[in-house]
């Protein structure tokens, strides 16, 4: 019982939108397809749902779905803005698929589902009276009602504002785990992917560039663009990369991706922490945030890089500083 | 801005159209109605009530209701598949087919009547069916005329419909049929209901089609008013029927207004792109093809008939248009009537356009308080009234109320254009209002905040959006005026008839030459309106004709 894509391609009017994508999604797991807008990730999702004609093989549990129409695939699709049926109440939206199947005890199921998404008592409201977050919860409940073999989520949280998005991402994860749902989610937000998914697939220009367990992908991005997209602040290449890796006590490599917090202003006695060559530089600018001081430092042989300092230190522009490197916040790009 | 300036501006904008509509619409119509209640200056409602209990009145009302009802159902039934095919599918010649199916909507009713008589008449290609002079012929004429309304209104709604709810339903396990019934149809319902109510209104007040196809045997309320006033001089009878019609129309307009869809602004719609036809679309494609044949058949027969004299091909029917017909059928040559029609249409156009623009501006200003919005709603409905009031009532009302100083306009050359302008007014308003409504007020505020004065703001924000709809609306008004028959039939002087009046007179006169001339004149009129509408159609104004 798993979704497997083999060499899937989709064209729009002769323009390739998805090119030769192969993926495996084991049952019970949540896969996030991460990519910038226009990377073809939504098209891939629509192809899996059966809404776009695709070449290659899309199979569930070994069965090729090429000739199975959308409504017989047993997948549920949840859109970015929910796409609730505006003429139906919340309860009738959630119970829609149950009524199609003439399921018994629809009312109880609907109540359970609304409870699952935290919307008890919303039964008779109309979608137009709900907030964006509530609509998404209803859409999720509606999708879960059919107990889909696979839940397809198209940017489920993107339409919401930042705070709500963060909270709902955590809840979405919990709900999916509770329901034991296999899910394929596309998103452009790496934080959302990390919160909700077990596995990650990165798409760019219609191609799958990398996939694997979240931490695998995260620790070893396959190329500089992927690293930047995954939230790394900068990518150093060539001599600069070698210089930083040596300073971190690692073997030199072609390129290295650096988190904002990889470099810390070193206030401890010299040589106590730094394993390799010490890094020295001049502060270009400093901004105080509640957690740390964010700096831009001009480093010898490396150019300008981001760095952080503890809030109680006050390095100011033009001040020379020593920096130590946190290896866990670097990713070597082979 | 001071608080009193807003209401004053609103009243100022609305004042002229309200006054014009008051004098040239309310006054004649109420004058007509009053003539029934006060036949000899004394209040005598008994006569009116007597009329309502006449068996013939009952038959006429019943015929009006059932023929309009059946025609509406048929128009919706044939219009829906075509709306789907023309607005959701992508295939070669789609634009051409769309334009072809919309032609009937702008054809003068008299032309439609003549074309169907030519098709179904004894000598016509479908004469063997024996449908000439039966209610079936009238129904066919009404459906021919109104399927375009359904295609237009429902098609626009279908085209702008977001495909994703349907996709979500399909992903939840709904079969295509279930998707259509549970998602697509409910979202189309407002458009279908409002199209159906407009079609019903058009059918129930249809004058030219019923008069030319029904003769005296089948009469609707509208044609009965005409017959009672012109042939029988039974004013109380006409007045009674006018009241019945007026009440029915107001009720129907109120219901239609209630049912008009209000879009949820919080939902962003992503219209689906038309796609290639699939095998499952076959049924709808065939239905559209049949509709195309149904629309083409009478028009082709009309054209062929106009090019034949006896059994030979000839242009004599067209050459005869410079004459007055045989047996003194007419007082002036047809060509002169065409010139009169064009002159009248120009006048009617500038009148309805300037009135319509004022109305549209007044109605779309941002109305803040609840009272203001209520006034707006009333105004909006008030200017829709000419849509449903019998054009014959209006025309006859003109004759009897505008005949003494200070309003002695009976011999004024502006009388006919004025009546036609009022008939075209709702079309103009309905074309302009959605466009003006669609302009975000913040655009004007942005312009103002950048230093643009009120006039400059209008020039920057409104005018670029409005000029196309204005041109389109004027073309529409021009075409409507060219084909207007109901009010003109009363008002046009015998020595200055318009083309539709001449055509009606020609088919009423015996003589093969007169009939041939009627066919040729119908073709000329149809081509003229079709050319105007084709030019307007190129402007691609979506609200055009969306009533």
Quick one: pLDDT band at residue B544, thresholds 50, 70, 90?
low
Please give the share of chain A, as a percent, with pLDDT higher than 70. Answer: 97
Task: Read off the pLDDT of each residue in A301-327 and give the average, rounded to a whole number.
Answer: 84
Q: Are B197 and B254 in contact (CB under 8 A)?
A: no
| Shortest Cα distance, chain A CAs vs residue B294, angstroms | 35
Q: Do B120 and B149 have their domain in common?
A: yes
Residue B543 in any domain: the answer is yes
B170: nearest CB among A70, A84, A87: A70
The full DSSP string for A4-17 is EEEEEEEEETTEEE
ipTM above 0.85, yes or no: no
Q: Let me know whether B485 and B410 are in one domain.
A: yes
Which residues of B are less than 8 Å from A78 in CB distance?
168
Comparison of pLDDT for B337 and B45, the residue scoring more: B337
> Is B183 part of the contact surface with chain A (CB cutoff 8 Å)?
yes
- Predicted confidence at residue B472, as pLDDT, reads 84
Q: Which of B169, B162, B13 is nearest to A97 (CA)?
A: B169
B376 versus A147: which is more confidently predicted? A147
Q: Angle at the Cα of A226 (from A221 to A227), degrees rounded to 5? A: 60
pLDDT in tens, B425-471: 888 888 888 788 777 777 777 777 776 777 777 777 888 888 888 88
Mean pLDDT for B16-27 is 85
Query: How many domains in chain B?
Result: 2
pLDDT for the residue numbered A152: 92
A297: β partners: A283, A305
Q: Which of A69, A87, A146 sits opposite B172 (nearest CB)?
A: A146
Residue B431: what pLDDT?
Answer: 82
pLDDT band per the 50, 70, 90 thresholds, residue B347: very high
Reply yes or no on whether the pLDDT at A185 is more than 90. yes
Q: Which of B38-47, B296-305, B432-441 has the lowest mean pLDDT?
A: B38-47
Q: What is the DSSP string of B294-351?
A: HHHHHHHHHHHHHTEETTEE-SHHHHGGGS--GGG--SS-HHHHHHHHHHHHHHHHHH
Residue A175 has pLDDT above 60, yes or no: yes
Give yes or no for B267 touching A (CB within 8 A): yes
* B269 located within any domain: no
Q: Assess whether pLDDT exceeds 50 at residue B473.
A: yes
Starting at the edge strand found earlier in the chain, the sheet holding A183-187 runs: A75-78, A150-154, A183-187, A30-34, A199-204, A207-213
**A146: pLDDT strictly greater than 90:** no
Q: Cα distance from B39 to chain A (closest Cα, Å)?
A: 53
> With 80 as the cut, is the pLDDT of residue A155 above it?
yes
- Contacting residues of B for A146, CB less than 8 Å apart: 172-173
Shortest Cα distance from A77 to chain B (angstroms)?
Answer: 6
CA-CA distances (angstroms) from residue B437 to B182, B370, B433? 31, 18, 6
Q: Based on the domain organization, do B480 and B534 belong to the same domain? A: yes
Same domain, B182 and B96: yes
Q: Give pLDDT tens digits for B368-414.
A: 667 777 777 777 778 777 776 777 778 878 877 877 766 676 677 78
- The pLDDT value given to residue B78: 92
> Is the CB of A128 less than 8 angstroms away from the CB of B266?
yes
Q: Say whether pLDDT at A218 is over 70.
A: yes
Residues in chain A within 8 Å Cβ distance of B268: 81
Which is more confident, B245 or A125? Answer: A125
Query: pLDDT value at position B435?
Result: 81
Q: Give the mean model confidence (pLDDT) for residues A284-304.
A: 86
Taking an 8 Å cut-off on Cβ atoms, the answer to whether A85 and B169 are in contact is yes
Give the integer Cα–Cα distance in Å for B341 and B337.
6
* pLDDT tens sequence across A25-62: 999 999 999 998 888 999 999 899 888 888 999 999 98
Q: Are B462 and B344 contained in the same domain?
A: yes
**pLDDT at B266 (0 to 100):** 47
Mean pLDDT over the full length of chain B: 81
Residues in chain B closer than 8 A to A152 (CB atoms): 171
Cβ pair B168:A74 closer than 8 A = no
> pLDDT at residue B48 above 90?
no
Domain CATH code at residue B355:
1.10.3720.10
Q: How far apart are CA B369 and CA B365, in angstroms?
A: 12
Please report whether residue B270 resides in a domain.
no
B154 and B249 share a domain? yes
The verdict on residue B272 lying in a domain is: no
Residue from A15, A82, A96, A143 to probe the interface with B (highest B Cβ count within 10 Å): A96
pLDDT at A248: 83
Same domain assignment for residues B222 and B259: yes
pLDDT at B265: 46
The tokens describing A257, both together, are 């991706």
Whether cis (ω within 30° of 0) applies to the bond prior to B406 is yes
Average pLDDT, chain A: 87
Let me know whether B289 and B330 are in one domain: no
Whether B288 maps to a domain, the answer reads yes
Amino acid A59: pLDDT:
93
DSSP state of A127: G
pLDDT at B264: 46
Note whether B24 and B66 are same-domain residues: no
Do B466 and B321 belong to one domain? yes
Encode pLDDT of B509-540 as tens digits. Answer: 777 778 888 888 888 888 888 888 778 777 76
Please state, in angstroms and as integers, the Cα–Cα distance from residue B351 to each residue in B16, B106, B357, B416, B497, following that order.
12, 20, 10, 11, 20
Answer yes or no: is pLDDT of B53 > 80.
yes
**pLDDT value at position B271?**
65
Contact B172 A97 (CB under 8 A): yes
* Residues on chain A bordering chain B, Cβ-to-Cβ distance under 8 angstroms: 46, 49-51, 69-79, 81, 83-87, 96-97, 100-101, 128, 139, 142-143, 145-146, 152
| Shortest Cα distance, chain B CAs vs residue A140, angstroms | 11
Q: Where do the domains of chain A lie, and which CATH numbers do they carry?
A: 2-228 (3.40.50.300), 236-333 (2.40.50.100)
B271 falls within a domain? no
Contact A333, A253 (CB under 8 A): yes
In a domain, B4, yes or no: yes
Q: Does B192 touch chain A (CB under 8 A)?
A: no
pLDDT at B2 over 70: no
- Indicate if B337 and B422 belong to the same structural domain: yes
B168 to A79: CB separation less than 8 angstroms, yes or no: yes
A chain contacts of residue B266, beta-carbon cutoff 8 Å: 128
pLDDT band at A4 (very low <50, low <70, confident <90, very high): very high
So what's the pLDDT on residue B388?
67
Shortest Cα–Cα distance, B178 to chain A (Å): 8
Contact A83 B268 (CB under 8 A): no
Residue-wise pLDDT for B121-133, tens only, equals 777 778 777 777 7
Chain A residues touching B167 at Cβ < 8 A: 46, 49, 51, 70, 77, 79, 83
Q: Which residue range is the domain that position B332 belongs to?
A: 1-43+313-390+400-547
**Domain match, B353 and B244 both:** no
């Amino acid at each position: 019982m798993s979704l497997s894509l083999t060499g899937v391609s989709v064209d729009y009017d002769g323009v390739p939108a998805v090119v030769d994508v192969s993926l495996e999604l084991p049952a019970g797991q949540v896969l996030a397809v991460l990519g910038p807008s226009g990377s073809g990730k939504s098209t891939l999702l629509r192809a899996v749902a059966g809404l776009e004609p695709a070449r290659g093989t899309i199979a569930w549990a070994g069965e090729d779905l090429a000739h199975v129409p959308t409504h017989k695939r047993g997948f549920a699709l949840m859109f970015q803005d929910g796409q609730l049926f505006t003429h139906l109440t919340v309860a009738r939206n959630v119970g829609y698929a149950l009524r199609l199947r003439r399921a018994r005890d629809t009312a109880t199921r609907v109540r359970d589902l609304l409870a699952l998404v935290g919307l008890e008592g919303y039964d008779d409201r109309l979608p137009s009276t709900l907030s964006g977050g509530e609509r998404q919860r209803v859409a999720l409940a509606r999708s879960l009602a059919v107990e889909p073999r696979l839940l397809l989520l198209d940017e489920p949280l993107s339409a919401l504002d930042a705070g709500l998005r963060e909270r709902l991402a955590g809840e979405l994860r919990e709900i999916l785990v509770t329901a034991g749902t296999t899910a394929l989610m596309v998103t452009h937000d790496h934080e959302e992917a990390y919160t909700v998914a077990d596995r990650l697939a990165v798409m760019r220009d219609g191609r799958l560039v990398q996939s694997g367990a979240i931490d695998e992908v995260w620790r070893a991005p396959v190329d500089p663009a992927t690293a930047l997209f995954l939230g790394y602040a900068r990518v150093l290449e060539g001599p600069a990369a070698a210089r930083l890796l040596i300073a971190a006590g690692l073997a030199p490599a072609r390129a290295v991706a650096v988190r904002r917090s990889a470099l810390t202003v070193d206030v401890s006695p010299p040589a106590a922490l730094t394993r390799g060559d010490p890094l020295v530089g001049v502060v270009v600018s400093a901004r105080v945030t509640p957690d740390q001081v964010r700096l831009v430092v001009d480093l010898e042989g490396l150019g300008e890089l981001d760095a952080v300092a503890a809030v109680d230190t006050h390095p100011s522009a033009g001040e020379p500083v020593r920096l130590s490197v946190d290896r866990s916040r670097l990713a070597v790009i082979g | 801005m001071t608080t009193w300036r807003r209401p004053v501006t609103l009243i100022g904008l609305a004042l002229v159209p309200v006054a014009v509509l008051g004098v040239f619409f309310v006054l004649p119509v109420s004058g007509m109605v009053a003539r029934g209640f006060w036949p000899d200056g004394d209040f005598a409602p008994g006569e009116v009530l007597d009329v309502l209990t006449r068996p013939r009145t009952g038959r006429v009302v019943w015929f009006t209701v059932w023929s309009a009802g059946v025609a509406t159902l048929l128009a919706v039934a044939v219009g829906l598949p075509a709306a789907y095919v023309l607005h959701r599918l992508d295939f070669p010649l789609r634009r051409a087919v769309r334009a072809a199916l919309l032609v009937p909507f702008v054809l003068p009713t008299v032309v439609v009547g003549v074309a169907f008589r030519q098709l179904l008449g004894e000598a016509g290609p479908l004469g063997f069916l024996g449908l000439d002079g039966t209610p079936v012929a009238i129904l066919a004429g009404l459906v021919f005329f109104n399927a375009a309304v359904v295609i237009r209104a429902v098609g626009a709604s279908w085209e702008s419909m977001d495909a994703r709810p349907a996709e979500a339903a399909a992903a939840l396990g709904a079969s295509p049929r279930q998707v259509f019934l549970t998602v697509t149809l409910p979202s189309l319902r407002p458009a279908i209901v409002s199209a159906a109510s407009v079609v019903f209104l058009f059918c129930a007040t249809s004058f030219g089609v019923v008069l030319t196809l029904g003769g005296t045997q089948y009469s609707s309320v509208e044609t009965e008013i005409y017959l009672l006033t012109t042939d029988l001089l039974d004013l109380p009878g006409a007045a009674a029927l006018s009241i019945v019609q007026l009440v029915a129309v107001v009720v129907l307009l109120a219901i239609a207004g209630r049912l008009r869809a209000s879009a949820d602004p919080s939902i962003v719609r992503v219209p689906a792109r038309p796609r290639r036809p699939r095998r499952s679309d076959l049924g709808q494609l065939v239905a559209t093809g049949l509709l195309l044949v149904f629309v083409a058949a009478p028009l082709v027969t009309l054209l062929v008939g106009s090019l034949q004299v006896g059994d030979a091909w000839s242009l004599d029917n067209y050459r005869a248009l410079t004459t007055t017909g045989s047996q003194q059928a007419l007082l002036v040559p047809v060509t002169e009537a065409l010139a009169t029609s064009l002159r009248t249409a120009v006048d009617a156009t500038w009148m309805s356009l300037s009135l319509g623009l004022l109305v549209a501006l007044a109605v779309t200003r941002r109305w803040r308080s609840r009272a203001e919005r209520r006034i707006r709603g009333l105004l909006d409905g008030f200017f829709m009234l000419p849509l449903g009031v019998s054009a014959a009532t209006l025309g006859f009302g003109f004759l009897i109320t505008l005949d003494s100083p200070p309003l002695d306009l009976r011999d004024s050359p502006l009388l006919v254009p004025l009546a036609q302008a009022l008939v075209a007014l709702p079309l103009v308003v309905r074309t302009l209002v959605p466009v003006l409504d669609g302009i975000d007020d913040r655009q004007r505020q942005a312009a103002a905040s950048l230093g643009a004065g009120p006039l400059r703001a209008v020039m920057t924000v409104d005018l670029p959006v409005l000029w196309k709809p204005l041109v389109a609306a004027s073309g529409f008004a021009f075409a409507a005026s060219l084909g207007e028959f109901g009010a003109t039939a009363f008002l046009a002087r015998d020595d200055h008839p318009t083309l539709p009046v001449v055509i009606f007179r020609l088919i009423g006169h015996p003589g093969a030459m007169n009939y041939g001339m009627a066919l040729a004149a119908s073709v000329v009129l149809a081509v003229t309106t079709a050319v105007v509408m084709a030019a307007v159609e190129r402007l691609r104004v979506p609200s055009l004709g969306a009533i």
